[in-house]
Structure 1
Amino acid sequence: MSLPEIGAHCSLESCHVNDFLPIRCRCDLLFCKDHISPEAHSCSLLRAQNTTPISERLKKLQRCAADKCNKPSLEAFVADSENTDGRTPAVCPRCKQAFCAAHREPAAHKCTAPDPAQIPVSRNEAGRALLSKMFPASEAGPSTPPDDKVVPTKRKTPPSNPKKAAQIRQVELMKMRHRAQPGDPKDKDKYVPVDQRLHVKVRVKDDNEEKIFWFRKAIGTGKALDLLASHFKVSTSNVLSLVCPGADDTADDVILQNDKLLSEQVEDGAQLTLTRRN
């Protein structure tokens, strides 16, 4: 069954990735976050004037707020001053400053503003009082647990509708592609087409830390295992294995074979565990 189409393909021929959140440039074409800057896709606006490498129109645009970066900010380049209704500004979610595509993420410009998601809302006494006034607790007791207790997150049940499940899986895979780092350091500065990449979520057994990597589909499982051990700083003095969890709670975990290709044993977006053999 073919997966549903979500988002749009990047208009750059050498990329053409199906981006979940494509961005429309002022040249009216859609691009992924890596190629939205005018220089990255040889924007027609850059060639509007033959006398200068960048048109006068682009020179007047707001620059990226990052230190020593002279590229147009993403917000200034994609914003339409005549129609801003319903559009989320392309700015940093923390400091609200405008950056280019390369520096938009907080980590990329070393943002010092606090992350709203990390603010302990439950400790806001004024907010708690307002909630208590609007939604008084029932006779059975308070509906929220004390601040010093953590309620385990319930495991989400996958949808029974195959089409819905495929759509959710593709959305998750899109998110992984944006966050993944190359598992092989040699691929860091090389262009590898998306259709030749295998994306995996990896954690060490009995450790909650999880990282997302991509490998070339031609990589062997044994080599991928050694590279992951290096990323997680796990000693290879003992025998290690990559384990893929079963399809459901009733299925057994599968130990991957090191003499086979990784892509032959797991699918794109798989979750793996780095574990030691007993």
Structure 2
Amino acid sequence: MDGPIGAHCSLSSCNINDFLPIKCKCDHLFCKDHIFPDAHSCPVASAGPSETNTPAEKLQRCAVDGCRKPSLEAFVSTSTRADSEGRSAALCSGCNKAFCAEHREPKFHSCVPLKAENGAEDASKNAKARALLNKHFPSSQPSSSSLSEPKTSSDKVVNPKKLAQIKQVQLMKMRHKAKPADPRDKPTSVSLEQRLYVQVSTETDTTPVPYWFRKTTVAGKAIDLLANHFKMSSSTAPLYLLNATEDGSTLLNNSTPLPDQLDDGSSVVLSRHKPPE
């Protein structure tokens, strides 16, 4: 992981370092929020259709019902048209459908895998794919084998540079999945420097969900916004926001802005119980 990861969005007002940038027909790279021609004032789109364009070049839409975004396969196929032989299609390996960057992961499009004709061959391919992903993108979640064996100091990443790189990759992946906690905030109206990204879980749903807040948001306001997302009411019992770390959980002060209490990429828990003092 010595080289740069991803690429910066070509829109000057965004400039986010995107983990999976998409190339537009104007030959510039953009993040998933600004890839659409009207989002970056695409000169190719504004110039009108060229003589070489045909109806067959219309971008394929994401397979998720109601999503109007172009699929990743649409961009890959148009950008590599001259050298399409031997190209791997940008399709879901489970259902073999094309999705946009936001819905590309199976859990975000309710993936129903096709029945494999050769189970052993598919299992081998999946194992190789997982090994490749684990090699380049180590997960912060413990594997089943790591749970069964006690960790020693030698198992931990002790190189500060490598640890910082791993955290940076994890934060970039979180930014791709995160949604605004406040539905009134739009990705195009709040710059990256004004956002704080966190992983949110509850006592009953421990699967973390990534959200971002304006850095001016206090913890009390964050509780109200998250309670709406997780369908939790504070009318019967108060809700608390806890900073979850390896050393335990600490209660956030409701009147203090989130950045004064949390780092970018922190994990928090929306709870009905205060941590022991």
Query: Normalising by the residue count of structure 1, what TM-score does the alignment of the two structures yield?
Result: 0.70
Q: Distance in 2 between matches of 1:174 and 1:126?
A: 34
Matched with 1:19 is 18
**Match for residue 127 of structure 2?**
none
Shift of 1:99: 5.8
Counterpart in the other structure of 1:89: 89
2:249 paired residue among 249, 253, 257? 253
Specify the SS of the correspondent of 2:270.
Answer: strand
Once the two structures are TM-superposed, the CA of residue 94 in structure 1 deviates from its matched residue by: 4.3
Match in the other structure for 2:112: 114
Distance in 2, matches of 1:190 and 1:203, equals 26
Counterpart residue type for residue 257 of structure 2: L
Aligned pair partner of 2:258 in 256, 259, 262: 262
Larger radius of gyration: 1
Query: 1:34-67: per-residue Cα shift (whole Å, max 9, x none)?
Result: 222333323232244xxxx333444441432458
- Is 1:202 equivalent to 2:197 in the alignment? no
Kept in 2, the 8 Å contact 1:11–1:29? The answer is yes
Deviation at 1:104, TM superposition (A): 6.0
Q: Give the alignment of 1:26-175 within 5 angstroms.
A: 26-48=25-47, 53-60=48-55, 61-65=57-61, 74-79=72-77, 80-84=80-84, 88-98=88-98, 114-115=112-113, 127=120, 154=147, 158-175=156-173
The structure-2 alpha-carbon separation of the partners of 1:85 and 1:272, relative to structure 1 and needing over 3 Å to count, comes to farther
- Which string of whole-angstrom CA distances, capped at 9 and with x for unpartnered residues, describes residues 4-24 of structure 1? 842111001222111012122
TM-score by length of 2: 0.70
Q: CA RMSD for the aligned pairs?
A: 3.9
Residues 175 and 197 of structure 2 are in contact (CA less than 8 Å); yes or no, is this contact kept in structure 1? yes
Question: Residues 47 and 169 from structure 1, CA distance in 2 versus in 1: closer, same or farther, beyond 3 angstroms?
Answer: same
What is the one-letter code of the residue matched to 1:42?
S
**How many residues of Structure 1 are paired with residues of Structure 2 in the alignment?**
243
**Structure 1: gaps of 5 or more residues:** 132-149
Q: Which amino acid aligns with 1:55?
A: S
In the other structure, the counterpart of 1:147 is none
Asked whether the 8 Å contact 2:71–2:100 carries over to 1, the reply is yes
Shift of 1:174: 1.2
How far off is 1:264 after superposition? 0.7
1:271 is aligned to 267
Distance in 2, matches of 1:175 and 1:185, equals 21
Secondary structure in structure 2 of the residue aligned to 1:39: helix
Q: Deviation digits for residues 140-173 of structure 1, max 9, x if unmatched?
A: xxxxxxxxxx957639865111111111111111
Partner of 2:131: none
How has the CA–CA distance of structure 1 residues 195 and 233 changed in structure 2, closer, same or farther, with 3 Å as cutoff?
same
Instruction: State whether structure 2 residue 257 is matched by structure 1 residue 240.
Output: no
Kept in 1, the 8 Å contact 2:218–2:256? The answer is yes
TM-aligned CA deviation for residue 106 of structure 1: 6.7
Contact 1:94 1:114 in 2 (8 A): yes
Q: CA 1:87/1:270 → structure 2, altered by over 3 Å: closer, same or farther?
A: farther
Cα distance, 1:207 vs. partner?
Answer: 3.5
Kept in 1: contact 2:251–2:274 (CA 8 A): no
Letter in 1 for 2:259: S
Q: Contact 2:218 / 2:255 at 8 angstroms: preserved in 1? A: yes
Residues 77-104 of structure 1: CA deviation (Å, up to 9, x unaligned) = 4432233478543344444445666776
The structure richer in helix per residue is 2
| 1:15 partner letter | C
CA distance in 1 between counterparts of 2:238 and 2:11 reads 44
What secondary structure does 2:201 align onto? strand
C-alpha distance in structure 1 between counterparts of 2:217 and 2:73, whole Å:
39
